[in-house]
Amino acid sequence: MKINKYFVIDFDSTFTKVEAFDVLADISLKDHPEREHRKKEIIEITNQGMNGSISVRESLERRLNLLAPAKKHIGPLVAVLKEEISESFKRNRDFFTTFADHIYIISNGFREFIEPIVTEFGIKPENVLANEFRFDQDGQVVGFDTENPLSANNGKVELLRQLNLPGDVYVIGDGYTDYEIKHSGLANKFYVFTENVERGSIIPKADHITPSLDEFLYLNKLNTVISYPKNRINVLLLENVHPVALELLKSEGFSVETYHAALTEDELCEKIKNVSVLGIRSKTQVTARVLEQANRLMVIGAFCIGTNQIDLDAATKKGIAVFNAPFSNTRSVVELAIAEMIMLIRNIVDKSVKMHKGIWDKSAKGSYEVRGKKLGLIGYGNIGTQLSVIAESLGMKVLYYDTEEKLSLGNAIKCKTMKEVIEQADIISLHVDGRDSNKDLISTQEFGWMKKGVIFINLSRGHIVDIQALRENILSGKVAGCAIDVYPHEPASNDEEFQSALRGLPNTILTPHIGGSTSEAQENIGNFVPAKIMDYINTGSTSNSVSFPNLTLPLLENAHRLIHIHENVPGILARINHILANHGINIVGQYLKTNELIGYVITDINKEYDKEVIKELRGIEHTIKFRILY
Ligand code: NAI
């Protein structure tokens, strides 16, 4: 590509995430008694230099005095710096090779460690402009080349003047000395680079803020690897989702905003207009009205199991993919179920209550082991199956009923009806989903089928059990022990009183919907959902989406990926292919899947295409959303 632009790039905190001197300090001062004190001082001096409050030479001299570096430290320093290259630089290696003649690295750091790093990206050694160490015969650094302009104030400006580049000059950097080049009139533009550090005093002086190299390339139409800079994708995370999710999405380069609580419908209607990725938990209601305003929204991540809080049909019709975390807290629920069945069959709850009142009631009456008992599972999905395996390892016999055909794990016995399970079980545990038809699944009739003295557990959904019928059966002694975690009506917040006909009943464990609430589960969710979101944005993959037809796609190599979401009407695929054929475009791969509402077509085409094609594809009638990846 022929261009008339030169790119002047800073090294410390721009090309690499870190300041090389900070890393050098860890190496050269490794066993030094004043190590921590000196490191702190070095950071302070670096910042003073960056802000322009001390001279470059003073900064260099003072830091080298503290560092006492030697030749032997350079190799280990380079090894660490290679691991610390800025993420967006790594993503855009192509840029450096394509424009090698036009790229200069200019740094007040030292050639000895800069050159080995940047030349690996295709940057020419002669285009690396930096200071040089002076060593004594033992290899100890005794100073630096003081003739080099970069060792003095205004060094970058001076060097640029000498270079006299025959075109526009764009400077990318994070510090004051980078800004100086623009200020002196030697650069056309200064792009402050904020991926690694944000220096408040420099940002206002820049022509553009570039949170990543992607943004710089996009602004200058030089992007060859990334279709759209990630920092332009706004992510809104509500309801205190786990910090690991924030970290993952940030390190991917997205602009992420977080809020500790849910937003009201009105607030969300306003906020959603600029949001491309929304992360919520169970309290935020994503209604059709909210979605009407969500013109940039591509994907919703529900950082929980349930998705009832989202109008899934409305989201799908708008071409918004929804992902949740269906198995992230499975294990937590299973552990609680196991713990509760043991507590209940030993009558521990009543015994504990008595002890707190000072009553010593030592007796084995009404206390049993779970080993050898029959556990009846209603619902054999993610949780039911895992509970089945663990219960068997405790020596229980497992019976289950599921409306779907499910593979029995271990020695579990499948029953044809729910009644069959209920009649035989010593312990009954419910693990069905919350579909409307499951309301009062367990009511007077079903309690009637149960064995006397049964243990009854519901950690699934509240409306599945008729609470009045349960109360009567506890009071009559039919149900000898009961654990409930979910209720037909649950308080909206911790400030509201919990009201239930189950309060005060014997051998009854009541918990506030915490079956899946463990740190491990929250962290699992925090990892799982962002992975789904990033996969969807980066590859178009929709595996495990609750709203979109599920497609798992191969990684894209040397091709463009066209992602077309349309209303599910016949003939769209034919029209897409017709347009591509008309333009003589070669399809390297194509994937189509539909559900009742939408069709999802992925077409991989070879590199060259005419912008007109994109216009035509976008213009196909019934198109909901269209995007290109490359
Ligand atoms: P899942 O969807 O994997 O399994 C549910 C199973 O129930 C499916 O196999 C389905 O075919 C079956 N089913 C539905 N209706 C049925 C019926 N009437 N009779 C028999 N089988 C029926 O769900 P998963 O992940 O196992 O979760 C189970 C339940 O646990 C859900 O209701 C979920 O909301 C709840 N849950 C509760 C938590 C808590 O904090 N207490 C945490 C996590 C999940």
Residues sharing a CB contact under 8 Å with residue 158, sequence separation 6 or more, in sequence order: 149, 152
Return mean pLDDT, the chain.
93
What atom of ligand 1 comes closest to residue 306's alpha carbon? 34
What atom of ligand 1 comes closest to residue 384's alpha carbon? 26
Residue with the nearest Cα to atom 41 of ligand 1?
A: 515
| pLDDT beyond 90 at 481 | yes
| pLDDT beyond 70 at 226 | no
Structure confidence at residue 558 as a pLDDT band (50, 70, 90) = confident
Residue with the nearest Cα to atom 14 of ligand 1?
A: 432
Choose which residue among 329, 378, 429, 433 to substitute to test ligand 1 binding: the one with the highest number of ligand atoms within 8 A of its C-beta. Answer: 433
Structure confidence at residue 1 as a pLDDT band (50, 70, 90) = low
Structure confidence at residue 363 as a pLDDT band (50, 70, 90) = very high
Structure confidence at residue 91 as a pLDDT band (50, 70, 90) = confident
- How far the first Cα of the chain sits from its last, in Å, is 18
437-460 pLDDT per residue, tens: 999 999 999 999 999 999 999 999
| pLDDT beyond 80 at 609 | no
Residue 365, classified by CB atoms within 10 Å of its CB into exposed (0-12), middle (13-18) or buried (19+), is exposed
What's the gap in Å between 384 CA and the centre of ligand 1?
8
Amino acid present at 616? E
Which 3 state secondary structure label does DSSP give 582?
Answer: helix
| pLDDT beyond 80 at 260 | yes
What's the gap in Å between 324 CA and the centre of ligand 1?
15
pTM comes to 0.76
- Residue 491: per-residue pLDDT: 86
Q: What is the mean pLDDT of residues 394-412?
A: 97
Q: For 145-159, 166-180, 550-564, which range has the lowest pLDDT when averaged over its residues?
A: 550-564
Residue with the nearest Cα to atom 20 of ligand 1?
A: 402
* Ligand 1 neighbours (beta carbon < 6 A): 305-306, 326, 329-330, 333, 378-384, 401-404, 418, 431-434, 438, 441, 459-461, 485-486, 513, 515-516
Q: For 228-232, 424-428, 486-490, which range has the lowest pLDDT when averaged over its residues?
A: 228-232
**DSSP 8-state assignment for residue 372:** T
Residues 39 and 25: beta-carbon distance below 8 Å: yes
What's the gap in Å between 430 CA and the centre of ligand 1?
8
Encoded tokens for 387:
């509970």
- Residue 607: per-residue pLDDT: 62
| pLDDT beyond 70 at 93 | yes
What's the gap in Å between 444 CA and the centre of ligand 1?
22
What's the gap in Å between 402 CA and the centre of ligand 1?
10
- Residue 224: per-residue pLDDT: 64
Q: Sketch out the chain's domains with CATH numbers.
A: 5-219 (3.40.50.1000), 233-328+518-553 (3.40.50.720), 330-516 (3.40.50.720), 554-630 (3.30.70.260)
Structure confidence at residue 611 as a pLDDT band (50, 70, 90) = confident
Q: What is the mean pLDDT of residues 81-95?
A: 92
Structure confidence at residue 565 as a pLDDT band (50, 70, 90) = very high
Residue with the nearest Cα to atom 4 of ligand 1?
A: 381
Q: What percent of the chain has pLDDT over 70?
A: 99
Pairing of strands 277-280, 234-237: parallel
Structure confidence at residue 283 as a pLDDT band (50, 70, 90) = confident
Residues 157 and 180: beta-carbon distance below 8 Å: yes
Element housing 162 (H / E): helix 155-163
Residues 155 and 108: beta-carbon distance below 8 Å: yes
Residue with the nearest Cα to atom 37 of ligand 1?
A: 460
Residue with the nearest Cα to atom 35 of ligand 1?
A: 460
CA–CA distances in Å: residue 611 to residues 139, 395, 588, 616:
58, 66, 19, 9
Q: What is the mean pLDDT of residues 204-212?
A: 93
538 against 611, higher pLDDT: 538
What's the gap in Å between 366 CA and the centre of ligand 1?
31
What atom of ligand 1 comes closest to residue 438's alpha carbon? 18
Residues sharing a CB contact under 8 Å with residue 393, sequence separation 6 or more, in sequence order: none
Residues identified as active-site:
461, 490, 513
Residues 132 and 107: beta-carbon distance below 8 Å: no
What's the gap in Å between 319 CA and the centre of ligand 1?
27
Choose which residue among 330, 431, 459, 544 to substitute to test ligand 1 binding: the one with the highest number of ligand atoms within 8 A of its C-beta. Answer: 431
Structure confidence at residue 493 as a pLDDT band (50, 70, 90) = confident
Q: What is the mean pLDDT of residues 320-339?
A: 96
For 27-145, where are the E strands, in sequence order? 103-110, 128-131, 133-135, 141-144
What's the gap in Å between 445 CA and the centre of ligand 1?
21
Residue with the nearest Cα to atom 36 of ligand 1?
A: 460
What atom of ligand 1 comes closest to residue 333's alpha carbon? 42
